[in-house]
Amino acid sequence: MEAQKKRVAVLVGCNYPNTANELHGCINDVLAIKETLVKRFGFDDSNIEVLTDAPNSCKLPTGANIKQALAKMVDGAKEGDVLYFHYSGHGTRIPSKKHGHTVHHEEAIVPCDFNLITDLDFRQLVNRLAKGASLTILSDSCHSGGLIDKEKEQIGPSSSVQKGSTSKTSYTLTHKTIPYDFIQQHLSSLTKATATDIGTHMLELFGSNASLRFQTASHALLEALGPDEGILLSGCQADETSADMNPGVAGKAYGAFSNAVEMVVREKEGGLSNREVVVRARKVLQGQGFDQHPCLYCSDENADATFLGHPQKTEH
């Protein structure tokens, strides 16, 4: 008898309450997507782990906690399992030198403790996935395009894009990014070290829990890891920002991309491909007046595969 296939999710929402980087819609995003996963995509509530920085949260979305939850999900997967990681929060770009001369940028998400999780961490995670299992990552954060290192662009900067019209909403818009300089200054204030290399501060503060990008063996890992079966739906291109919308007393705050995906999957009873979800989300955001362009990074086969593995359930 064939073993039952699992559908497992890790959902992370960081609002950074009472800080200079506070957002308002990220926790709402993951609570909304959790309901959608259960009602329309067949996930069991017991197979969904939620990490938020809400005051009553039982498990904060620190870098170590997020990576631990992702490792547990990935390492426990078997052939046919469907895995999903949804992140709503700040992103950043880390300047780095490849090949010794040109300055490039590496993408990262910003957990509540600033223990950055980088594109290399996600690539290494995907490459550990059991053959025949799938891992879909949706990152509603700034600079999220390219968050899985070396994954193939299906919809990205080279795709045809149009600027949105001016938004007519009365919402307060906050960009979901924390500049690299701010992060470096914050970390150096904690370590009291004068080093200008962010990796020095990361290793001193977080040790072995720091990103692989800052570990000694990172260069060897970069050469060893190749494209695999990861699926990334990013809220914007690598050089763009994603919006956090706060209507104040008028309604519920939300992330623009998370909300667009929610709208897209709810209005279509049958299954949508990963490509269709991103294309439709782009159209929703353009119609709402946003200048961010969601992207899709995955293999050709996964671009046309059904989002989260099978047709959505119809709600009754």
Q: Which amino acid is at 242?
A: S
The pLDDT value recorded for residue 220 is 58
Range of the domain at 64: 7-309
Report yes or no on 316 lying in a domain: no
Higher pLDDT, 286 or 166: 286
Higher pLDDT, 170 or 151: 151
Q: Is 295 a catalytic residue?
A: no
137: Cβ contacts below 8 Å, ≥ 6 apart: 84, 85, 87, 122, 147, 148, 230, 231, 232, 233
The pLDDT value recorded for residue 46 is 96
Q: Domains in the chain: how many in total?
A: 1
Given 142, 236, 295, 298, the catalytic residue: 142
* Residue 177: DSSP 8-state: B
pLDDT tens, 32-67? 999 999 999 999 999 999 999 999 888 999 999 999
Given 14, 24, 86, 90, the catalytic residue: 90
Cα–Cα distance, 54 to 57 (Å, whole number): 5
Cα–Cα distance, 191 to 201 (Å, whole number): 6
Report yes or no on 314 lying in a domain: no
pLDDT (average), residues 162-166:
47
CATH of the domain at 32: 3.40.50.12660
Report yes or no on 238 lying in a domain: yes
pLDDT (average), residues 222-241:
77
Q: Calculate the alpha carbon distances from 178 to 110, 145, 236, 243, 258 in Å.
A: 8, 16, 15, 13, 19
Report yes or no on 93 lying in a domain: yes
pLDDT tens, 233-247? 999 988 889 999 988
Start-to-end C-alpha separation, the chain: 31
pTM: 0.91
Q: Is 142 a catalytic residue?
A: yes
Q: Which amino acid is at 109?
A: I
Report yes or no on 1 lying in a domain: no
Report yes or no on 315 lying in a domain: no
Looking at the chain, the whole-number percentage of residues with pLDDT higher than 90 is 63
* Residue 289: DSSP 8-state: T
